[in-house]
Structure 1
């Protein structure tokens, strides 16, 4: 079982996206602000598999949930 703490970088790797700090910051800037009525997993910029991963991570309160919540908060600003 993976017990390591996940970061935005490892989340982006898991989602198959460029994961360098500047790339993550660019992604957030490009897709912000996410409207409050749109759940993060329902945002139009995710692929079906990315959306499913985010939804499962939140629903299962997996070890990814905290960093998904962090990304959600960053996308709302």
Structure 2
């Protein structure tokens, strides 16, 4: 049985953030780049519940892991 897959916008919706493409881009632009030594889960802009979601799903290697990794990459990528 294949694990469920999620769209990138779904992680934003899951964490109570706007999942509109323009707002996702605005969020990433506003909060990036994170310093290399800052783990995604330790970024200062997450609420406690958002941080818990990221941490729990990362530890569990859940079906959200691909989107968590993509979010991590997007927030650590230097601005063009």
TM band (smaller chain): over 0.9
Task: Give unpaired runs (5+ residues) of structure 2.
Answer: none
In structure 2, distance between residues paired with 1:54 and 1:72: 10
- Structure 2 counterpart of 1:5: 5
Cα distance in 2 for partners of 1:71, 1:64 equals 11
Q: What is the aligned-residue RMSD (CA, Å)?
A: 0.9
Distance 2:73 2:15 in 1: 18
Moved over 3 A (4+): none
- For the residues of structure 2 that align with 1:15 and 1:23, how far apart are their CA atoms? 14
Q: Is 1:29 the equivalent of 2:34?
A: no
State TM-score, norm by structure 2: 0.89
What is the number of equivalent residue pairs in this alignment?
75
- Residue of structure 2 equivalent to 1:16: 16
Write the deviation string for residues 20-39 of structure 1: whole angstroms up to 9, x where unpaired.
11110110000000111111
TM-score by length of 1: 0.92
CA distance in 2 between counterparts of 1:57 and 1:4 reads 14
Between the two structures, name the one with larger relative contact order (CA 8 Å, sep ≥ 6): 2
